[in-house]
Amino acid sequence: MSQEPLILWFDQINIKDVPAVGGKNASLGEMYCNLKSKGIAVPNGFATTAHAYRRFLAETGLDERIRHILADLDTSDITNLQQHGREVRHAILSAEIPLDLREEILKAYDQLSEQVSGGVDVAVRSSATAEDLPDASFAGQQESYLNVHGHTALLDICRRCFASLFTDRAISYRTEKGFDHFDIALSIGIQRMVRSDLASSGVMFTLDTETGFKDAVLINAAYGLGENVVQGSVNPDEYYVFKPTLKTGAKPILKKTVGSKEFKLVYDSGGGKMTRNVPVDPAARAHFAISDEDILTLARWGCLIEDHYSAVQGRYCPMDIEWAKDGNTQELFIVQARPETVHSQQQGTIVKTYQLNERGKVLATGHSVGERIGHGVARIVHSAKNINEIQPGDVLVTDKTDPDWEPIMKKAAAIVTNRGGRTCHAAIVSRELGLPAIVGAEHATELIPGGAMVTVSCAEGDAGHIYEGQLDYEVREVDLSKLPSTKTKVMMIVGNPNEAFRLSMLPSDGVGLARMEFIINSFIRIHPMALIDYDQLDNIALKTEIGQLTSAYEDKPAFFVDTLAQGVGMIAAAFYPRDVIVRMSDFKTNEYANLIGGEHYEPREENPMLGFRGASRYYHENYRDAFGLECRAMLKVRKEMGLKNLKLMIPFCRTVDEGRRVLAEMEKHGLKRGDDGLEIYIMCEIPSNVILAEEFAEIFDGFSIGSNDLTQLTLGVDRDSEIVAHLFDERNPAVLNSLAAAIRKVKAAGRKIGICGQAPSDYPEIAEFLVKQGIDSISLNPDSVMKTGTRIAKVESELEGVPAQ
């Protein structure tokens, strides 16, 4: 009889043992042996071996029987596939596990149970022996079972695991990837349960799943056992953490989004089921599933796991990790880890971008997966039993998907689900297939008419939209390796934090203008003074609305600080360590009044464009406390998140004395110019900024020309007035003379000067003019960066008398 082991404990396994115990169990053993010493907790367990599986097939005659059943398999025929899969599984479930293997499993289970009377609860997971190869992800193809207890139940589940090697989706996947069904074996991992049914669990990726941005950890979390997050049964919380400054001891939580977390998977106390879903209390749904401390701990563990696997593999190896928190002990555990299989395989310098050229009626909105656009006829499918309703090129719209859907998903043009986060099954498979997908689009199956033509757009940042009809869009390819370098810094204008990771991959020297207003308007939505005065508000309807929007915060001003810090932090992290210049708020009074509660705090002005805006607000009694919240948020980005590449800019500063008053106000809140390398810039957008450039240069570190306001005030044209709009032109000689004078004076004073206005994006000739004047940087809209950057390189070459490359 062969001496090959039937059982191996985790401390006997490492990553080289994939042929013996599959990728999932080999990875658990690798972490258990090598990462426990670094503080990473992995529940103990053991695995049956590939040898044990093959013994089971040979001794029961299943190997020959399965070959016979699969002889006329046709995976392109769904009915044929389902029939053959059902026959094979029935054959395996009807067979007896060999006596010696049964004894080995139960002996190890009893040993794992130690002093626990009646046996410990275990998770039982299937692990295929070709799992997680670089070109094939077998993850999710086989079954997992939670809360398994006792000898009888464990043996029954082991038989089900063996049968799950022949689920319809696994058969189809192996056939598609060219694997022989009998070259793959099934190992069963049996691991102590983490009581996350009493706490939380989720999934973590050590990169951004949508863009492949390498410096972020993405964590999804929900209440209860982790299968709901993996399968997309709930819309989980979403957190981003920045890896480079995390490793220096900072606490860079870039983003926290509350998910609806409608259900939680818990132990079933009766009826023979091992687990069941129960509703989550509405108050708990409104709060984050884990604490900031847990988020940071998980992110640190993710970095350690990624670093370890990268060293083992000899290459960058981002990871897909499952975690759980024990509700009894409050301890965190890692319960699975595997290499990420989409972005880690992408190479080259070709960037493909999708651009939606028109908009239409939005039918539903959710989380975008990837950055593509697709269109097709919407097919509403409620069950995997009806997947034969999908025709090639259709848009699949359903509640959620699981591996049973995979044989048909590759035929779809796009996928839309009611439930799920960015780490759910539908999202992972869509990325592998290169399909646009929108997950967590609540009520999509009700809002999207079946049989209607729709366009699915994931090219507009974090939010994905399903539009009515077939909209016009284009796909562009850019070879980044062929873009020229320039002496003049080419920077970007960025407003939406959700687009920052994607935009950071375009060639640029950083962000010359990040507008704070976008974050306040889109994510905060509430006037900061209304948050400060929340407890004193006597308007019940207003107080209720604010309370609902800030339900996760007892301290309402902290909602403003955290949300603003996270938005700015996303941008600063995306471009780190390149400079990111954030302009402090520059709403006009009419725009502030449009925020929730704003009408109670803002005066009515005849011409808000020239009124109570910019620097004049920051030290005024009507806004000073709100400006303090802005300062606290920026301090949090620089100090707590460790993003020292963040620089601040003051808009619409009319006089040098006003500049001093603003700097003094900022210093009160810990933002002292020069401390810890902090640089504070001024917008050069008022004629006084040009005329007194030398004096302003004494108190500010740099200048950024705002060409819109400078043109308005130089020509005396209200840029909001349609009647005189034809006179507004940045190319007017008076404006160009002001630009040239500002550059000359600021450079003579030894300060930096750039431009962040719209003009260079709209008029390449202005960019050319600015380069000839010796400007230090030009900030452009993202869609102008490559075109205008090439023009800048050409001008620089001509000035030096050297032909452009």
- Which sequence positions are flagged as catalytic? 425, 756
SS3 label, residue 611: coil
Which residue, 722, 648, 737, is CA-closest to 690?
A: 737
Exposed / middle / buried, residue 512 (Cβ in 10 Å: 0-12, 13-18, 19+): buried
Orientation angle between helical segments 18-34 and 292-313, nearest 10 degrees: 130
- What six digits make up the tokens of 82? 């389902």
SS3 label, residue 139: coil
DSSP 98: P
CA distance 89 to 159: 10
5 upstream amide cis, omega within 30 of 0: no
Q: Do you know the residue count of the chain?
A: 805
- CA 23-24-26 angle, 5° bins: 65
Spatial contact of 226 and 196, defined as CB atoms under 8 Å apart: yes
Beta bridge partners of 478: 351
Which residue, 104, 141, 112, is CA-closest to 125?
A: 141
Q: Give the position of tokens 């957190």.
A: 239
Spatial contact of 18 and 129, defined as CB atoms under 8 Å apart: yes
DSSP 248: T
Using the CB atoms, write b or e for 28-67: b if 16+ within 10 Å: bbbbbbbbeeeebbbbebbbbbbbbbbbbbebbebeebbe
Which residue, 70, 75, 106, 111, is CA-closest to 91?
A: 70
Sign of the C-alpha dihedral computed for residues 30, 34, 39 and 42 taken in this order = positive
- What six digits make up the tokens of 134? 């670089």
Q: What is the largest CA-CA distance in the chain?
A: 96
Orientation angle between helical segments 764-773 and 733-748, nearest 10 degrees: 30
CA distance 710 to 690: 9
Backbone angles phi, psi at 460, to 5 degrees: -120, 30
Beta bridge partners of 365: 465
DSSP 259: -
DSSP 596: B
CA distance 416 to 419: 9
Spatial contact of 56 and 98, defined as CB atoms under 8 Å apart: yes
CA distance 739 to 706: 10
Which residue, 752, 753, 756, 804, is CA-closest to 784?
A: 756
SS3 label, residue 418: coil
